[in-house]
Structure 1
Amino acid sequence: MLSIFKITNGKKVAVFAALAILSGLIFELVAYLGFITTQEGFHLYWNLKCISPNLQMGLLNSDIQQYHGNGNAIPVNLFNVLIYITGLVGLVIFYVSKFKEIRLIRFFFSIVFLSNGITLFFMVINAIRWISNPAFNLFLWVLNFVMVIFWCLISFIVLRHYMQERELEMDSEVEDLFGNKGIYESPSKLQRLFHSLVDTCIAVGVCSALVASFYLGVISNDYFATPTSLERSLVILLSMFVLYALFEWLFGATPGKMLTESRTIKTNGGKLTLGCVLGRSFARFIPFESFSFLTYGDGWHDLLSKTTVVKEKRTGIAGRWYWLLPLGYLLLVIGIYVGGEMLEKYRFKQENEKNYSRHYNQLQRQLDKITPNTVIILNSIEGDYSSGHISLIVDKVISDAVEVSIIPNEGVSNLSEMAQRYTQMKPLVGGVRILISDLKKGITPSMSDYISNKIVGFRLPNDNHRYAISDFALLDRPFLSARGKVLYDSQIITFYLETKGSAADLIAAKNIEGDINWAGTLPLQIKSADLNSSYENEITMIANNCRKDENIKSILTLKDSQGCIYQFMLTVQDKECSIEKIN
């Protein structure tokens, strides 16, 4: 069984690389495109994501929070995507070159090794700290732990295999101090600078945030503490030391050196020892050591540790072709940005259409069950608003028609004021007969028609304007409606309701289905509906001890100023909230 871990040829490396790259890209793509729409899918996503390499980009964090229909957010890290794309390009070149060009493949596996190695360390620390916590899931921890070890081991074996396989490049034209020819070829000053830049970015970006997290969460026991400038500097220096020492001891090369096919050896040609690597890593922090490369020969950390950096024998393509990569990355980033903007606009449009469809269905139901004292709020759709917004108050329902009073909204802010004006003006403006079929022309099922002002609308007697129905309200009794969405946060659920009726007190909330505890004290005062601002009509209710995957039914009981009781059934199913009047 252990033979699976024996790397004997490039084909097996390609298989492991393909598994790592494609699984990682698939999970990032699934999150980015928003395919997950249920709570069960959200849990399944995170449980299966351990199959892919656990990349930790630390400070190089550009998460796009993808909010899905279940109210959860799955972060998509663009730097993770770029690392996977780098690995994919390297895999294609690796295969086309008949498994000879290995620079990008080695770089990809170096990031996998570093990320999973750090993750492994933190998993052990967290298990020690949280294993006694009832919320700690041992099965999922073991599953993730096994997969992290798997990717650590695979990447380690691949990197060691190519370290032992590659020969060093000899330069027969260069003589040493004693006149001997055929010494190892050294990378150029520009390549050494490239090594330093890449390794510093990885150390600062990948390691330092995780080291800082360990310091804040384990040592200081406060994840929200802000590190001081000194602490932040020490964390970065420690991260750089760990990166240099670990990679040069295990593989003889840091990720930056792997990109240029370079390696560190002892000046006598021998293998690096741990003491030699530690001395070399410590020497890097000597003040002004970075400028030592401006002089002839190696830098101080090379001279003091009696080491040197040499070139490996090239077996793949010429390095100049890799200058195309920055252009490719630029086009990729532009494509991701443009595609993301288009996708966001599409999702926004879909969500608006869904909300409009919900609002349309609600208007249709209310029109079908219209009763006296219903307020029909109208908007002019002629483009000329000189007549102002008006409302129709139903006096009487007559089979296929209604008799209404036409009341101007000007100077009226809520239903209480509307009721007073209705009492005063009814003798003068009442008795206007309108067919139900004409009222239905004021509602359009198409959001695009609504936006482009293609609503058919209806006309009122002695009024040349066409009107659309904006909303309904009840003049003489309380009425509640749901905004459709609920918000989950841990074990807390927030309901967003609206009042579309007269003032009342919410005096009771009784659970019929679902184990939740309503927060807040009752009675809760509900004001008369505002006719000018829907935000003034919002009612926020919070419940505790809820599970995101359970359906909820609860009876809300309201009592108005006359002592009359009204009950509504509040229902949450598939994360959508609705409310219906019971009596």
Structure 2
Amino acid sequence: MDQKRIYTIVAAVFAVTYGYNLFWFFRSLIEFSSFGFQFTFFIRYVPIFLGIAGLVIFISSQFKRSNLLRVIMCMEIMSFPFLAFWYIQFFTKTYGPLNQPAQLNWTFYVGCVINAALLFASIIGLRKLSFNKTAKLSFITYGAESTAQFFPASAGQRFVNRLVDGVMIIYILLINLESINISSGWGDDFQPEIILIIQIPFLILYYIILEGIFNTTAGKCATGTTIVNEQGQRPGFAQILGRTFSRIIPFEPFSFFRAGSRGWHDTLTNTYVVESVNQEDSGMDEITFDAEMQNA
């Protein structure tokens, strides 16, 4: 199956899913309008509206501009463990005042299909779109020889990467821990210690899955950057593990502010975060410098 057809199917799945979610959003909005503004209700729908915006950009650009949509794909993939745990709870617990098993109806089955379709579309779409990214290069020519150089991500881009990934991790935990009844993420009985305890193992899982399988994270999707090794290729899984566990070194998040904008998790594993372009557009973005002319 060619790339364009895959993107079309992925976009169609997201469009149907968002249409279904918008139906429930407006239905719930009408039902709960008498209760006034509900912060938790609206905050849950923020990713859906961002996803709709990302989907419109993706389709209107003929599948070339995918940054925002890939951010949402990262969130959908990393929310799956909590969703799976919720389903386990659903089938093993009883609900209601009479302690009766929850009733299975058409909305439940449709929701299952929607969640499964969205997960598979996110996995296929994120992997395809992220693997289509390649390092943006400049070529320095010395006579008949050319040397390729990366465009390293700036300190500002690295900061945005950290910020987006941090917000993504906290948002996923707050929303999903509440849904599986471990912690009320937004209410009066908010328990920050639970978030702190789970945050580090989830952070490790977040980077191993997204960088190890998809060679990206939500932050890198947002800034259009990617990870490469010294040869400009995707790093090996051992390097990804090294990057991941290096992140828990005290004060490591501030290490990329030094010269070169490389953090300890980069230098310890010989990896780089660089600006990226789509593979089909790589030739258009390559910049060549003639060293002999510059030295003339």
Q: Which amino acid aligns with 2:158?
A: R
**1:113–1:152 contact (8 Å) kept in structure 2:** yes
Q: Calculate the TM-score normalised by the size of structure 1.
A: 0.40
CA drift of 1:116 comes to: 4.0
CA drift of 1:193 comes to: 0.3
Confirm whether residue 16 of structure 1 aligns to residue 18 of structure 2: no
Deviates more, 1:101-110 or 1:207-216: 207-216
* In structure 2, distance between residues paired with 1:216 and 1:174: 59
Q: Residue 242 of structure 2 aligns with which residue? A: 279
Confirm whether residue 238 of structure 1 aligns to residue 205 of structure 2: no
Q: Residue 131 of structure 2 aligns with which residue? A: 164
Q: Residue 185 of structure 1 aligns with which residue? A: 151
Query: What aligned pairs does 1:39-58 form with structure 2 within 5 A after superposition?
Result: none
Q: Residue 164 of structure 2 aligns with which residue? A: 198
**1:265–1:272 contact (8 Å) kept in structure 2:** yes
Q: Residue 30 of structure 1 aligns with which residue? A: 27
Give the secondary structure class of the aligned counterpart of 2:274: strand
Cα deviation, 1:374-417, whole Å, max 9, x if unaligned, reads xxxxxxxxxxxxxxxxxxxxxxxxxxxxxxxxxxxxxxxxxxxx
CA drift of 1:128 comes to: 3.7
Specify whether residues 305 and 215 from structure 1 end up closer, same or farther in structure 2 by C-alpha distance, changes over 3 A only.
farther
* In structure 2, distance between residues paired with 1:116 and 1:169: 32
Q: Residue 127 of structure 1 aligns with which residue? A: 91
**1:292–1:299 contact (8 Å) kept in structure 2:** yes
Deviates more, 1:298-307 or 1:7-16: 7-16
**1:167–1:312 contact (8 Å) kept in structure 2:** yes
Q: Residue 109 of structure 1 aligns with which residue? A: 73
Q: Residue 61 of structure 2 aligns with which residue? A: 97
CA drift of 1:301 comes to: 0.9
Q: Which amino acid aligns with 2:138?
A: D
* In structure 2, distance between residues paired with 1:138 and 1:85: 28
**2:151–2:275 contact (8 Å) kept in structure 1:** yes
CA drift of 1:313 comes to: 1.0
**When you count strand as a share of all residues, which structure comes out higher?**
1
Confirm whether residue 305 of structure 1 aligns to residue 232 of structure 2: no
Give the secondary structure class of the aligned counterpart of 2:26: helix
Specify whether residues 183 and 285 from structure 1 end up closer, same or farther in structure 2 by C-alpha distance, changes over 3 A only.
same
Query: What aligned pairs does 1:331-350 form with structure 2 within 5 A after superposition?
Result: none
Give the secondary structure class of the aligned counterpart of 1:310: strand
* In structure 1, distance between residues paired with 2:45 and 2:190: 29
CA drift of 1:287 comes to: 0.8
Q: Residue 153 of structure 1 aligns with which residue? A: 120
**2:133–2:226 contact (8 Å) kept in structure 1:** no
Specify whether residues 202 and 226 from structure 1 end up closer, same or farther in structure 2 by C-alpha distance, changes over 3 A only.
closer
Query: What aligned pairs does 1:232-271 form with structure 2 within 5 A after superposition?
Result: 232-271=195-234
**2:164–2:218 contact (8 Å) kept in structure 1:** yes
Give the secondary structure class of the aligned counterpart of 1:309: strand
CA drift of 1:255 comes to: 0.8
Q: Which amino acid aligns with 2:55?
A: L
**1:66–1:75 contact (8 Å) kept in structure 2:** no
Q: Which amino acid aligns with 1:245?
A: I
Identity of aligned residues (%): 22
Cα deviation, 1:222-265, whole Å, max 9, x if unaligned, reads xx987574x44222223322222221122111111111121223
CA drift of 1:102 comes to: 1.3
CA drift of 1:208 comes to: 4.8
Which structure ranks higher in relative contact order (CA pairs < 8 Å, sequence separation ≥ 6)?
Answer: 2
**1:110–1:159 contact (8 Å) kept in structure 2:** yes
Cα deviation, 1:490-514, whole Å, max 9, x if unaligned, reads xxxxxxxxxxxxxxxxxxxxxxxxx
* In structure 2, distance between residues paired with 1:246 and 1:195: 16
CA drift of 1:75 comes to: 8.2
Q: Calculate the TM-score normalised by the size of structure 2.
A: 0.75
Count of matched residue positions in the alignment of Structure 1 and Structure 2: 267
* In structure 1, distance between residues paired with 2:253 and 2:238: 21
CA drift of 1:15 comes to: 1.9
* In structure 2, distance between residues paired with 1:272 and 1:12: 29
* In structure 2, distance between residues paired with 1:137 and 1:266: 52
Q: Residue 207 of structure 1 aligns with which residue? A: 173
**When you count helix as a share of all residues, which structure comes out higher?**
2
Give the secondary structure class of the aligned counterpart of 1:313: strand
Q: Which amino acid aligns with 2:137?
A: M
Q: Residue 411 of structure 1 aligns with which residue? A: none
**Structure 2 stretches lacking a partner, 5+ long:** 283-296
* In structure 1, distance between residues paired with 2:75 and 2:179: 19
CA drift of 1:76 comes to: 6.5
| Bigger CA radius of gyration | 1
Cα RMSD for the two superposed structures: 3.6
CA drift of 1:183 comes to: 2.7
**2:135–2:232 contact (8 Å) kept in structure 1:** no
**2:139–2:146 contact (8 Å) kept in structure 1:** no
**2:134–2:226 contact (8 Å) kept in structure 1:** no
Query: What aligned pairs does 1:480-559 form with structure 2 within 5 A after superposition?
Result: none
Q: Residue 47 of structure 1 aligns with which residue? A: none
CA drift of 1:19 comes to: 1.8
* In structure 1, distance between residues paired with 2:265 and 2:177: 24
